[in-house]
Amino acid sequence: VWSLMLMGLSTLGIGLLPNYAQLGVWAPVLLVAFRFVQGFALGGEWGGAVLMSVEHAPQARRGFFGSFVALGLPAGIILSNLVFLVTSSAVSPAAFAEWAWRIPFLASAALVVVGLWVRIGLAESPIFAQILTAQSARRMAILDVLRHDARAVALAAGSYIGISTLGYVVIVYFVSYATRELKFPLTTTLALLLTAAVMFAGSIIASAIWSDRFGRRRIMLWGNGALVLWSLVFFPLADTRSIPLVALALCGILVLQGAYIGPQPAVFAELFPTATRYSGASLSLTLGTILGGALSPVIATSLFSATGNSSLITVYITAMSLISWLSTLGLIETYRHVLSR
């Protein structure tokens, strides 16, 4: 509940933030501060949502239940880009830059209200309730995770590094790359991304269901292995400036990421014992994000500036994808694990 409130209040704060002319240097300082609060909230929110989904699920359907948390990513891409398209199309560019950009941030308050209504009405999972009854909850669970499950955290974070890198490159960097370097209209770029995001959502659900039947590590391993190969062709396909080939590049890279992201929530929950599961899952995701996606748009921009083409970016995303594949190779299979341990 606290993580959800922090996310909502910081997002609302961005929408209400005075501009530089009104507040001076404090405007960008507060903007960065709000973004840090958003990241802090996300680190707690993802792990909590995963555990509430997976620990309430029947054992044979934990992958499927966990995938509804994973669907937040493509749903966020679709919803945010649709809101951005509608808002930017409804007003002039000058009006959008002056005030209309605030509308999506302010409108998000409604989602927070709905989220709080859902979250407050949920009961604690039976598995963790047993821990509380037995008074076995850990006061410093994060230290216990690092002491007893450091290898699991390292491999889980490593398995996510390439996925996080590719996610930020596609969702953040590629929008500016397509409009500035490929000379695509912004509406075309966003429409391509929206199409790929819909396929991304389908891939997440399908791979999660398959992970309940055939094992999670196998699905994730195949997905990450295919991503290594697709990373080699993503920018060469995009650089053709052919709309169909760019659509193929985007759809392919997001569908293959879905093969990992679908089973991921269940895997990150199943890797750790109940008393430290929240900390273990959250820490693994956060480390993978920091080491992978956090700086990837900046790195991609620098690599393009250094060469004037996308060749070094291709080397970079392929190397990060390879790290994910190797880390997944080191993970154990978890889909038959009993969660109440």
Quote the percentage of the chain above a pLDDT of 90. 60
Are 65 and 57 a contacting pair, CB within 8 Å?
Answer: yes
Question: Concatenated DSSP letters for 4-49?
Answer: HHHHHHHHHHHHH---HHHHTTHHHHHHHHHHHHHHHHHHHHHHHH
Q: pTM of the predicted model, to two decimals?
A: 0.87
Number of Cβ within a 10 Å radius of residue 335: 21
- Identify the pLDDT of residue 94: 86
Nearest to 264 by CA among 235, 228, 223: 223
Number of Cβ within a 10 Å radius of residue 233: 16
Q: What is the pLDDT of residues 24-74, one digit of tens each?
A: 999 999 999 999 898 888 877 888 888 888 988 888 999 999 999 999 889
Name the phi and psi angles at 118, rounded to 5.
-70, -45
Q: What is the pLDDT of residues 301-337, one digit of tens each?
A: 999 999 999 999 999 999 999 999 999 999 999 988 8
User: Helices (H), strands (E): how many in the chain?
Assistant: 18, 0
pLDDT in tens, the chain (341 residues): 888 889 889 999 999 999 999 999 999 999 999 998 988 888 778 888 888 889 888 889 999 999 999 998 899 889 888 887 888 788 888 888 889 889 888 988 888 888 888 878 777 777 777 766 666 556 677 788 888 889 999 999 999 999 999 999 998 899 999 999 999 988 899 899 999 999 999 999 999 999 999 999 999 999 999 999 999 999 999 999 999 999 999 999 999 999 999 999 999 999 998 888 888 998 999 899 999 988 999 999 999 999 999 999 999 999 999 999 999 999 999 988 877 66
- Identify the pLDDT of residue 40: 83
